[in-house]
Amino acid sequence: MPEVNFSSFLAEFDGFYDAPKKEKIWTELSNQFREFWSNRVMGADSSPISDEDCDKIIKILDRNGKGNNKDTEAIARAMVSQGAWRRLFNELHKNRKLGNVVNKILIEQDPKTKAQYIDELYAMDEAQKIYLTGKSGNTISVFLAAYDPFVNLSVISLKDRKLLLECLKSAYAENFDAQSIGTKIVFSNGALAEAIRAAGVTGNARKISEYCYYAPVKELWRGEFSAPQETSTSNQPKEFIVTVASDDADEQLDEGEVRESIKIQGLLAKIGEQMGFDIWLPNPDRARVAKVWQPRDPRMLLTTLPLSYDKATQSTIGLIDVIWIKNKRSIARAFEVEHTTSIYSGILRMADLVALQPDIKIKMHIVAPLDRQEKFSTEIRRPVFSYMTNGRLSDMCTFISYDDVRHIAELEYLHHTRDGILESFEVSAEQPEE
């Protein structure tokens, strides 16, 4: 990587960054998180934590949290859905063993011991099921940053931390990959903060994190560039962030993966049916899906698409894994159940649809195992999907995990529920950042 002056934009950044105001804000927000953690999550009562109480804290943790806007302060984009956050807090409240491990991580002062506790958490199967553990370390790092935003960085992604360490030529980066997940999360925090300050950027962990994600600084280390594509109503060029991704070929699937994808396809059909939609499935998949889902009324599984598109568009739509049809004439939502390792083919089909019908307004979702969420984010941000005629595909298509589909399918009164509930479980392709 070419030599860069990491602090080049500090004077410009300091010109609008009100450090005393930010410190006051984050002192209050951290106190809110700590109080919620102590009194609700770790509280002795057995009553569930309400969505309302959860959402107040999610808003602090996650830039994509319900109610946030450009003027709202939040730790980062954590790539966790609203519904998953709610389940996570309630599971930590109910599962004392799990909650206690996270509590020890938050309050422990010794770095080595804190790292050991994180490794212990990552060894617990139940932690993976509620989004607590993942190779990026997002969730635990968000908790740590909320608990003490002035010591713990808001650079929550281990991938971003490694890129920054490499950009800053930190010796710590050389051993990064060989370390345990707990060691990475804990010790990269200190090593990165030290490297940033050594580069001439001063301030607490919150300030230096925000500086790292300041647009011109981000270009120095994350390999992204901005390019104007169209003019908005304010006559200002609309910018599109592009990440150049490497190509991965689809791998062979084992029978278990195929069977699991068919089950999810069936669950999506069942959910849509219960919400009152007609269902479309591709003809080659119908016999397999029929083993896991049968419509209550056979007429709800459409045999032809009642859509007035040209032949090419009809052919593309007809291959989408699950479509919910409203009033027998319009598409409400389209789902691609993407079980391939590259996760590319499902995204490409959605892109084909948008390219054929640039004015089409369909809510599109890629549905895949949770561990492929980061892959989805990388693939959908490829240049080919970022320079589309009517905008970025990442603004039109979101990710929903297999686990969230299963959870939605188990909700009571689905027949009285609108499809907007999916918005509490979808995750956009935005990279985790401040």
DSSP string, 383-404: HHHHS-TTS-GGGTEEEEEHHH
Q: What's the pLDDT band for 4 if we cut at 50, 70, 90?
A: low
293-313: pLDDT as tens digits: 999 999 999 999 888 888 888
Does 225 have pLDDT greater than 70? Answer: no
Phi and psi at 221, nearest 5°, equal -125, -20
Average pLDDT on 392-420 reads: 91
Which of 29-43, 86-100, 135-149, 299-313 is predicted with the least confidence, judged by mean pLDDT? 299-313
Q: Which amino acid is at 218?
A: K
Q: Using alpha carbons, select from 306, 296, 304 the residue that is nearest to residue 275.
A: 296
| pLDDT score at 314 | 87
Q: How far is CA 87 from CA 92, 138, 159, 324, 349, in A?
A: 9, 16, 26, 26, 32
Residue 325: in which H helix or E strand, if any? strand 322-326
Mean pLDDT of the chain: 88
- Residues 260/371, Cβ–Cβ less than 8 Å: no
Number of neighbours of residue 231 by Cβ within 10 angstroms:
10
Maximal C-alpha separation, the chain? 68
Mean pLDDT of 268-280: 96
Kindly state the percentage of the chain with pLDDT values over 90: 65
Least trusted range by pLDDT, from 2-6, 232-236, 329-333: 232-236
Instruction: Note the pLDDT tens digit of each residue in 336-354.
Output: 998 766 788 889 989 988 8
pLDDT of residue 384: 86
pLDDT, one tens digit per residue, over 132-182 is 998 899 999 999 999 999 999 999 999 999 999 999 999 999 999 999 999
In angstroms and rounded to an integer, the radius of gyration of the C-alpha atoms of the chain is: 23
- The distance of Cα 79 from the centroid of its chain, to the nearest Å, equals 2
DSSP character at residue 164: H
Query: Which two structure tokens, joined as six digits, stand for 74?
Result: 């939040």
* The pLDDT value given to residue 218: 92
- In this model, does residue 252 exceed pLDDT 70? no
In the predicted structure, residue 421 carries a pLDDT above the cut 70: yes
Q: Give the model's pLDDT for residue 221.
A: 93
- Within 10 angstroms of residue 230's Cβ, the number of other Cβ atoms is 11
179-204 pLDDT, tens digit per residue, is 999 999 999 999 999 999 999 999 99
Contact, 227 vs 242, CB < 8 A? yes
* Nearest Cα to Cα of residue 403 among 365, 364, 367, 363: 367
Do residues 344 and 250 touch, judged by C-beta distance below 8 A? Answer: yes
Q: How many CB atoms lie within 10 A of CB 392?
A: 19
Beta strands in 150-306 (DSSP E): 224-231, 237-243, 278-280
**What does the block give as tokens for 64?**
């994509």
Tokens linked to 205:
């962990």
Q: Is residue 246 pLDDT above 80, yes or no? A: no
Per-residue confidence (pLDDT) for residue 226, from 0 to 100: 43
pLDDT at 432 over 60: no
100-139: b (≥16 Cβ within 10 Å) or e: ebbbbbbebeeeeebbbbbeebbeeeebbebbbbbebbbb
Q: What is the pTM of this model?
A: 0.79
